[in-house]
Amino acid sequence: MNIAALASAFLLLLAVGHQYANAFAVNPRGFGNSASGGVGSKSKKRLVDEGVVEKIKEVNVSPSVSPVMAAYALSARGAEMQQQGRLNGAVSAFTEALALHPTADRRFLLAMALEENGEPHKAVAMYDWACQSHDAGADAILRHDAAIKLADLCANDLGDVERAIRYVDAAMAEDGYAHSTFSNAAAFDQKAFYLAEQGNLGEAILLWDAAIEGTEEGELVTHNNMGEEAVSRAVARSHLGRFFRAVANILLGHDQEAKAAFATLPVECQYMVDSWNYIATAHYPQEQRVLQSVQPVRQNGRRKVGRLFTGPFTILEEALASARPNGLVCEFGVFHGKSIRILASMVGRDIVDGFDTFEGIPEAWGDDPAGTYTAAAEIPPVPDNVRFHVGLFSDTLPGYVASLEPPEDLPVRLINVDCDLYQGTVEILYHLANRIGPGCVICFDEYLMTPTWPEDEYKAFQEACAKFKWEYEYLSFSLFSKQVVVRITASESFVG
């Protein structure tokens, strides 16, 4: 056993851990995680540096080493598996390492693997433990980052914004952070979103102001210390902060201020303004336009405004609640199973059908090459009411539709489209067209807020509406998660 290799691997591992942590700390609510540079609802891309992984591959576990050294090696193995997308293996390796030598860093690493594996409850428990750690490896930065991650999970994956606010406040209160605008920029950003989700736009704007100021300060620091990637993340975040602050100003009736802010955004952010312009003039139910429908909210009811800033859990919950009471529930694009587990937990004993190759997107999307988001062909662990159809949608959908017999021979209740691509969305809508009728709800995961949105899910849906004479109403838009929910109101393709 090469002790030097182990020691250097462990140091690298810690660096990886903090690389993750910092990446997320500057990615409130998934900012910048999308391949195409927009906001995102989840961390989809792997962040571990290839060189680090090559080094930790050299490490082995042998029966003769001490528990501490074995724990280092297991942690290294877990990081390698996580990098390959083998998350079940990564979770086991980190769990074993933690049992051999419990440290706050290892809790953090395990929590990240659990989170990526779509196990939010377990991840929350593990981050919470890391957050409260004062043992080896625990420091204010780790506790701060764990609290930020907790806030993100609570808001996005568990739909508990109150709790998210408590965690973000705890992050800001960590020693060494309390008075630094730069260090707290991510926390300010994150809290601004949560307050906006609660409809408290005035306070959200003040926090965005502080976040933007801190980010600009941070840009200077990162320019000197942290390299181009960190700088471009900081710049992207400050643009997003300006965009969201401008939207909040519009919702408060400060249109001139918002227009001026939009005008300061660089041309590569025009897609955000275009997304907002589309939403602002789109129809909500009862022929109301979005801006009309939020007018009364400026005085009292905060709900509708808040929904523009909400996370995936709440969007999926509302989508199901608005759908016809029974029928097929399908997800296209499962990856590690995060959203399908949320859906499965919401439908009682009904079946959720999940479609995926588990080998990543079949063609490039924006800056993401084909194969991005691969689960390394690992089928994620899911509740009993989930049924998988493994393969390309074009291969599995015809057989699925043909195989449906009573009592399952039903119209579609809900489709969650999370395959990112135009072509995949076309295939889903065309194969299911004669089961898509009034009361069918479709949740699109990347409908807006990416640079290529007019060419992706949006385009596929609009074309299907024209072809099948579907009429529809928009139920929800989230500028944050990029999700949009539509309900079909009339359909000529529906065969009942």
Ligand X SMILES: C[S@@+](CC[C@H](N)C(=O)[O-])C[C@H]1O[C@@H](n2cnc3c(N)ncnc32)[C@H](O)[C@@H]1O
- In the complex with ligand X, the residue whose CB is nearer, 306 or 337, is 337
Distance CA 149, CA 106 (A): 15
**Omega of the bond leading into 407 within 30 degrees of 0 (cis):** yes
H-run or E-run covering 232: helix 227-251
Supply the minimum distance, in Å, between the C-beta of residue 420 and ligand X: 6
Torsion of CA 219, 224, 230, 233, to 10 degrees: 20
Distance CA 335, CA 115 (A): 13
Supply the minimum distance, in Å, between the C-beta of residue 450 and ligand X: 12
Distance CA 342, CA 103 (A): 30
- In the complex with ligand X, the residue whose CB is nearer, 362 or 438, is 362
Tell me which of 75, 357, 452, 481 binds ligand X, using CB under 6 A: 357
- Span from 86-94, 158-166, 328-336, 484-492 in contact with ligand X (CB under 6 A): 328-336
Tell me which of 10, 32, 42, 81 binds ligand X, using CB under 6 A: 42
Q: Is 359 in the site for ligand X (CB under 6 A)?
A: yes
Helix, strand, or coil (residue 283): strand
Supply the minimum distance, in Å, between the C-beta of residue 83 and ligand X: 17
User: 484 and 283 in contact (C-beta within 8 Å)?
Assistant: no
Q: Which of 366, 329, 352 is nearest to 44 (CA)?
A: 366
Site string (270-309) toward ligand X, x via CB under 6 A: ----------------------------------------
Q: Is 361 in the site for ligand X (CB under 6 A)?
A: yes
Distance CA 136, CA 142 (A): 11
Fill in the amino acid letter for 292.
Q
List Cβ neighbours of 210 (8 Å cut-off, separation of 6 or more).
181, 184, 185, 188
Supply the minimum distance, in Å, between the C-beta of residue 421 and ligand X: 6
Q: Is 333 in the site for ligand X (CB under 6 A)?
A: yes
Q: Is 107 in the site for ligand X (CB under 6 A)?
A: no
- In the complex with ligand X, the residue whose CB is nearer, 60 or 394, is 394
Distance CA 286, CA 166 (A): 37
Tell me which of 31, 182, 335, 447 binds ligand X, using CB under 6 A: 335
Q: Is 424 in the site for ligand X (CB under 6 A)?
A: yes
User: Token pair for residue 356?
Assistant: 């995926």
Tell me which of 106, 143, 144, 338 binds ligand X, using CB under 6 A: 338
Q: What does the binding site for ligand X look like in residue numbers (CB under 6 A)?
A: 42, 44, 333-336, 338-339, 355-362, 373, 375, 392-393, 418-421, 424
